Structure 1
Amino acid sequence: MAVTKRGLVLASTAIAVSAVTITGAGIHLSQGQAFFQESPKGLVDEVWQIIDRTYVDGTFNKVDWKATRTEYLNKPYASKEEAYKAVREMLKKLGDPYTRFMDPQEFKNMQIDTSGELTGVGIQLTADEKTKKLTVIAPIEDSPAFAAGILSKDIIIQIDGQSAEGMELNKAVSLIRGTPGTSVKLTIQRGDKQMEYQLKRAKIEIHPVRSSYRKDEMQGGVGYIRLVQFSANAPAEMKNAIQKLEKQNVSGYILDLRSNPGGLLFTSIEIARMWLKDGAIVSTVDRQGEQDRERANNRSLTDKPLVVLVDGGSASASEILSGALQDNKRATLVGTKTFGKGLVQSVRGLGDGSGLAVTIAKYLTPNGRDINKHGIDPDVEIKLSDDQRQALSKDRDKIGTPADLQYAKALEILTQRIKAQQPTAPKS
């Protein structure tokens, strides 16, 4: 079963607490739907076969994977629900929260919504690989979670009073999702503080790119572009933003990737090519060690000075883009260390309408850096306190203004880079 690049997602966007999350476009459906609808055991074997062929870790977490197949195929299954439970048990042996099974409703909720409209509270969630705790990657901008002040790295410890300790990601998402207008109460652990958020579910319209022309003392001003998600329509919006700002004769750019939880792999590559004339962008490495290396294609839209803003909520696709720009010395990174998720998934439809997300590769930056669990260090570190981060979340008009300390530093550095490129006047 071939998987195109457009069917690949990055692990940090594993779950969005909404009716739709960013997954691979062009989902590949298996054949023989009628057979698998009538054969729960066939579904178990279909999942086993996909993992056996494509899972990134050839040791299967040091599990005897062939013996696992025998174990689960020797069990009787009276219903699809029993098979679903068995599949989840089987996958748990891999110790990978990003390789997961979704029943038909969960899988339907994972499909890309081409309208860009999500229903939920707008939280990107993951299960921390070490602690297994439900951890917020980033809230989606203009969502109830973002407006309430939920932050990257917050830990969800209760959902409507129910303990989230040891809770599976899919179950947590099903508890948090719901009909627009209804509410859910989340209990959050942030450092040594506990706090409660009563969130009202809503429809969330996502426009991944926002841009503006910033006039200052420099002739031509500065182009500010904020990219909030690597969705399928992000490349077209990014291209339009750069072209519009180029017509306004900007002298340089600030690209804001803060709290961007990632998305589609091909989107990060396409956007990188808009900023890079040449050089490597990313390589993906599967369990055989085979590398698929993506490069710039001499079609960049601008070569003007660039500063990129990143923070702990900048994950996966954000890390591919920022890592490529940093390694190629195309941009200066300002902010704090990124999230640290360097895994690629394939999302596949199964015969009965359920789905499977499988970690099939890890990615490396152009210089060969494996950023999984570490993240990308900025060139210039500027930290914000929790109070400062919350203030920006509550008053979004301050994001990308001098009241935003990270932006202010980025503008200072960009100004220096622009001046350094300007020709010096001849001495008389």
Structure 2
Amino acid sequence: MSGWAQGGVRKFRICLSVVILAGFLLWAPAVQALSEDQQLVVDAWSFVNQSYVDPTFEGIPWRRLRQRALEQPIPSRESAYEAIETMLAPLGDPFTCFLRPEQFKALTDSTAGSISGVGLQLGINEGETVVQVISSLDGSPAAAAEIQPGSVVLAVEGDSVEDLGLEGVAAALRGPSGTVVDIELVAPDGERQSLSLERRTVDLRPVRSRRLREDGHTYGLLQIRQFTTKVPELVSTALAELQNKCVEGLILDLRNNPGGLVSSGLKVGNSLLDAQPLVSIRDRNGIVDTIITDAGELYDGPIVVLVNSGTASASEILAGALQDDGRAEVLGRPTFGKGLIQTLIPLSDGSGLTVTVARYVTPAGNDIQSVGIMPNQVLAALTQETPEDDSQDPWLERAMVALQNQFHRHDKHIERTAMT
């Protein structure tokens, strides 16, 4: 009996414990569902957490930043936007940032080939807050005002660059065609400028080509102003047209090309390299993926590349590959130095993120971040970075001379081969 009784007591205690535990579960407070605005913050955090190039987040308490953001009241969409911006700020990465719906749309529109604004391409060096002009788009209000590459933006509509940040400056300069925006900047020579520019729709016209003749030779000039979705197709068409005109050499003009879609830049490189390394990309896990171009080229003749301080990102990838692979000689000035790759991530309400997802090095292993590509021939800086009249562009003259030298070296190589 005592054994049965003790067993019964044990069973009773177990049952009682289960009932008590169940009571706690039944009376536990329900988990509160996130509001749409809170969910937007969580989604933004999750995308960056999954994608950012440095999974350690450089010692920043990344998970704690998410918790802090949700601990604060988020009663509106604007407060959600501010919470996301506050969350991203400690990263110190000017290229990983939040874009409001109008900003995100403007950026995606620019990759398609058109913008409504003043036509300034802007950049910022890693670890700095100074927003610099990379280039002014041809035919834009900025070009008409002769804003020079290297100019430093101080304020837009009275708001300082320190308060706006890179994307804030870009967003403030965009707007409906016909509206006016005030901008303050310092030119490369130190002159302070206050300008009022009328915004308008600017067709990027990312690819332009024409034939040049000099000393009995015929050259092709291929200018790429930005890598948009249509650029690879436009470049293929341009190369075919130039070859139909029997050009002997190609001048690839990447001056003031701030980059754009890396994928488009890689496709152009695939047209000019024959089964050669194009770029090595290192992702957040330290995995290096070396991209090799396909066999065959759309153009296999001599090439000279023109670059300057406005040449950045995807255009640096292309110039660096052509230089390292011995495919082209690079002339001009040291490039901007952007060796980071970003991706665009849309959020549920039309806003979005740009997130740094990888670093890249050239085929020779050169990391150009904040350094740039050094030309084979460094040319004297121009007072006007891209003269509209070819006859006023001494860099084109130097490029044609460089191509002629390539012709002579090629002829001598053929003679030596024939003699042996």
* TM-score, with structure 1 as normaliser: 0.84
Paired with 1:122 and 1:132, the residues of 2 have a C-alpha distance of 21
What's the offset of the Cα at 1:158? 2.3
- Which digits, 9 at most, give the CA deviation of each residue in 1:334-377, with x for residues without a partner? 00000000111111111222211111111111111110110000
> Does 2:403 correspond to 1:403?
no
Q: 1:421 maps to what in 2?
A: 410
Q: 1:82 aligns with which of 75, 79, 93?
A: 79
Paired with 1:113 and 1:329, the residues of 2 have a C-alpha distance of 32
* Matched pairs, number: 383
Paired with 2:164 and 2:375, the residues of 1 have a C-alpha distance of 33
- Which digits, 9 at most, give the CA deviation of each residue in 1:159-196, with x for residues without a partner? 23443334223332332222212222222112422123
Contact 1:134 1:155 in 2 (8 A): yes
Q: 1:201 maps to what in 2?
A: 199
> Does 2:407 correspond to 1:412?
no
* SS in structure 2 at match of 1:333: strand
Contact 2:111 2:228 in 1 (8 A): no
- Could you list the structure 1 runs, at least 4 aligned residues long, displaced by more than 6 angstroms after superposition: none
Gap regions ≥5 residues in structure 2: 1-32
Paired with 2:128 and 2:316, the residues of 1 have a C-alpha distance of 22
* SS in structure 2 at match of 1:153: coil
Of residues 303-312 and 65-74 in structure 1, the stretch that sits farther from structure 2 once superposed is 65-74
| 1:336 alignment partner AA | R
What's the offset of the Cα at 1:113? 6.0
Contact 1:61 1:93 in 2 (8 A): no
Residues 301 and 419 of structure 1, relative CA distance in 2, 3 Å threshold: same
Of residues 208-217 and 308-317 in structure 1, the stretch that sits farther from structure 2 once superposed is 208-217
Contact 1:133 1:166 in 2 (8 A): no
Contact 1:158 1:164 in 2 (8 A): yes
Of residues 134-143 and 325-334 in structure 1, the stretch that sits farther from structure 2 once superposed is 134-143
Paired with 2:320 and 2:344, the residues of 1 have a C-alpha distance of 25
Contact 2:207 2:235 in 1 (8 A): yes
Gap regions ≥5 residues in structure 1: 1-34
* SS in structure 1 at match of 2:235: helix
Paired with 2:171 and 2:302, the residues of 1 have a C-alpha distance of 44
Q: How does 1:355-374 map to 2 (within 5 A)?
A: 355-374=352-371
What's the offset of the Cα at 1:240? 0.9
| 2:392 alignment partner AA | A
Larger Rg over CA atoms: 2
Paired with 2:122 and 2:251, the residues of 1 have a C-alpha distance of 27
Paired with 1:97 and 1:188, the residues of 2 have a C-alpha distance of 20
What's the offset of the Cα at 1:146? 1.7
Residues 380 and 88 of structure 1, relative CA distance in 2, 3 Å threshold: same
CA RMSD after TM alignment: 2.1
> Does 2:104 correspond to 1:107?
yes
Paired with 2:84 and 2:284, the residues of 1 have a C-alpha distance of 22
* SS in structure 2 at match of 1:84: helix
| 1:389 alignment partner AA | Q
Paired with 1:416 and 1:251, the residues of 2 have a C-alpha distance of 12
| 1:244 alignment partner AA | E
> Does 2:339 correspond to 1:342?
yes
What's the offset of the Cα at 1:402? 4.1
* SS in structure 2 at match of 1:168: helix
Of residues 222-231 and 325-334 in structure 1, the stretch that sits farther from structure 2 once superposed is 222-231
| 2:346 alignment partner AA | G
Q: 2:52 maps to what in 1?
A: 55
Paired with 1:335 and 1:379, the residues of 2 have a C-alpha distance of 8
Of residues 406-415 and 324-333 in structure 1, the stretch that sits farther from structure 2 once superposed is 406-415
Paired with 1:233 and 1:225, the residues of 2 have a C-alpha distance of 15
* SS in structure 2 at match of 1:81: helix
Higher relative contact order (CA 8 A, sep 6+): 1
| 1:223 alignment partner AA | G
Q: 1:268 aligns with which of 262, 265, 268?
A: 265
* SS in structure 2 at match of 1:293: strand
* SS in structure 2 at match of 1:341: coil
Of residues 375-384 and 45-54 in structure 1, the stretch that sits farther from structure 2 once superposed is 45-54
Tell me which protein shows more helix as a share of its residues.
2
* TM-score, with structure 2 as normaliser: 0.86
Paired with 2:353 and 2:266, the residues of 1 have a C-alpha distance of 24
* SS in structure 2 at match of 1:61: helix
Q: How does 1:171-182 map to 2 (within 5 A)?
A: 171-182=168-179
Paired with 2:180 and 2:268, the residues of 1 have a C-alpha distance of 37
What's the offset of the Cα at 1:424? 4.9
- Which digits, 9 at most, give the CA deviation of each residue in 1:302-357, with x for residues without a partner? 22111000000000011000000000010000000000001111111112222111
Contact 1:178 1:201 in 2 (8 A): yes
Residues 45 and 263 of structure 1, relative CA distance in 2, 3 Å threshold: same
| 1:193 alignment partner AA | E
Contact 2:113 2:206 in 1 (8 A): no
Residues 189 and 345 of structure 1, relative CA distance in 2, 3 Å threshold: same
